Amino acid sequence: MRDRDLYAKILGLPAPWRVEDVELDREAREVRVRASSRGKMPCPECGRLSPRHDHRERRWRHLDTCQFQTILVANVPRVHCEEHGVHMAKVPWAEPRSPFTAMFEALVIDWLLAANTSTVSDLLGLTWDEVDGVQQRAVRRGLERRQPEFHARIGVDETSAKKGHNYMTIVSSIDGGHVLYVAEGKDGAALDGFYESLNRERLDAIRVVAMDMSNAYISSTRRKLSDADAKIAFDKFHVAQLLGQGVDKVRKHEHRELLETGFSILTKTKYLWLMNPDNMKDETWKDVFSFLKDEALKTSRAWAIKEHAMSLWHYVSPTWARKGWKRWIGWAVRSRLEPMKKAAHTIRNHLGGIINAIIHKVTNAGAESLNARIQKIKAMACGFRNSERFRNAIYFHLGALDLYPATHTDS
């Protein structure tokens, strides 16, 4: 079999394209495959066969041949359509403006799903910007292909984009477990953008919005959703986080007081009070904590208040759930522990959303899991140059998008 016939079969070029020549350049370590075409070509706008106007030589990198890079070279015609004027004809092996064949671009996408941009560029002999370009095109086509979906339960969370006060708002599907929307910032405008991307029917399909107690997210949801207060849910994780911060403030204050009197019983115990006792694996620390929580300490009382709140998520009836939480709020307010009193006032002001979370059995654990994976993506990339690249990476890995070029299976 001649080399032209071999590459014609490998590339699977459809008519009117054919392999005209194959050249091996040992010095450049390249196999250059030249393709050509004859006759009229379809207009890229309407598909009507149109005469050629002129042509431009273009090159695409294809999958390697053994240890040599394979470069596909072709004079791509510009066609003159009676209706749409002069346009560059489409080629069947690559998407417009891509320097790679669709099959090679699909390979880069596969690698990017497993490694960071710098590693992929080193492995495939590409520049960082070339690899990043593949990712950007993959996300763009994935978002364009995404069909309108109806999501009854969504989660809203924030994630840090980089050091300092730089944040991204992430909207995810609780049931689907993937990212729906990414926007820069953590203000109401960031979440407004998601709601504004939905039509009325899709907005009305939303039944639960799990979030933290951010006034910005609450206000946005109230502006954009009908009957929003019945849909907003503050899940167990964020309530635990709020109360854990209260316990830690009590511990810090009490630790300073005890040190002044010569007692160091709370030294190096911060994480014991924040950890779930069931998750303590070290028997020594279990014994230490068992001793501490039974001591007459302010921190012990604060911890007991927090733990009782964590036991109030079993209710089925909203009436009984509300009664249980109101009794707890009374206890926390009477505790004379200022951080716990402050937390109790916050919970009282957001009690409706907590009851919603209990009754709907909704949790933002999925959003928190996505947040952890987002931070892993950021760490793997050693940070991002700007928010737009970070946004693309989130969509690329967690958006459940159709990333691959449409022609990669046909090339």
User: Is 390's pLDDT higher than 60?
Assistant: yes
User: Is 409's pLDDT higher than 50?
Assistant: no
DSSP one-letter string for 187-240: SHHHHHHHHHTS-HHHHHH--EEEE-S-HHHHHHHHHHSTTGGGTEEE-HHHHH
Whether residue 259 is found in the same domain as residue 342: yes
Whether residue 253 is found in the same domain as residue 345: yes
Q: How many domains does the chain have?
A: 4
Supply the CATH number for residue 178's domain.
3.30.420
Q: Is 396 inside a domain boundary?
A: no
Question: What is the sign, positive or negative, of the torsion defined by CA atoms of 211, 214, 216, 222?
Answer: positive
Whether residue 251 is found in the same domain as residue 199: no
Q: Is 286 inside a domain boundary?
A: yes
Whether residue 162 is found in the same domain as residue 84: no
Cis (ω within 30 of 0) for the bond into 277? Answer: no
Beta strand 68-81 with 30-37: parallel, antiparallel or unpaired?
parallel
pLDDT tens for 343-359 read: 999 999 999 999 999 99
pLDDT tens for 176-211 read: 999 999 999 999 999 999 999 999 999 999 999 999
Q: Is 365 inside a domain boundary?
A: no
Whether residue 107 is found in the same domain as residue 72: no
pLDDT greater at residue 206 or residue 370: 206
Average predicted confidence (pLDDT) for the chain: 91
Q: Is 19 inside a domain boundary?
A: yes
Residues sharing a CB contact under 8 Å with residue 56, sequence separation 6 or more, in sequence order: 75, 76, 78, 88
User: Is 1's pLDDT higher than 60?
Assistant: no
Question: What is the sign, positive or negative, of the torsion defined by CA atoms of 188, 159, 364, 358?
Answer: negative
Whether residue 228 is found in the same domain as residue 241: no
* Residue 157 domain boundaries: 153-232
Closest CA to 364 of 167, 166, 177, 159: 177
Whether residue 248 is found in the same domain as residue 326: yes
Residue 386 identity: N
Provide the pLDDT for residue 277.
Answer: 78
> Which one-letter DSSP state was computed for residue 81?
E
Q: Is 384 inside a domain boundary?
A: no
Q: Is 159 inside a domain boundary?
A: yes
pLDDT tens for 3-60 read: 888 888 888 888 889 999 999 999 999 999 999 999 999 999 999 999 999 999 999 9
Rg of the chain over all Cα atoms, to the nearest angstrom: 30
Of the CA atoms within 13 Å of residue 19, those in its CB half-sphere come to 21
pLDDT tens for 127-181 read: 999 999 999 999 999 999 999 999 999 999 988 876 656 889 999 999 999 999 9
pLDDT tens for 84-117 read: 999 999 999 999 889 999 999 999 999 999 999 9
pLDDT tens for 293-328 read: 888 899 999 999 999 999 999 898 999 999 999 999
Residues sharing a CB contact under 8 Å with residue 139, sequence separation 6 or more, in sequence order: 392, 395, 396, 399, 401, 403
pTM exceeds cut of 0.75: yes
Q: Is 23 inside a domain boundary?
A: yes
Whether residue 167 is found in the same domain as residue 279: no
Instruction: For the beta carbon of residue 231, count every other beta carbon within 10 angstroms.
Output: 21
The answer to whether the beta carbons of residues 168 and 158 sit under 8 Å apart is yes
Q: Which of 189-198, 363-372, 378-387 has the highest mean pLDDT?
A: 189-198
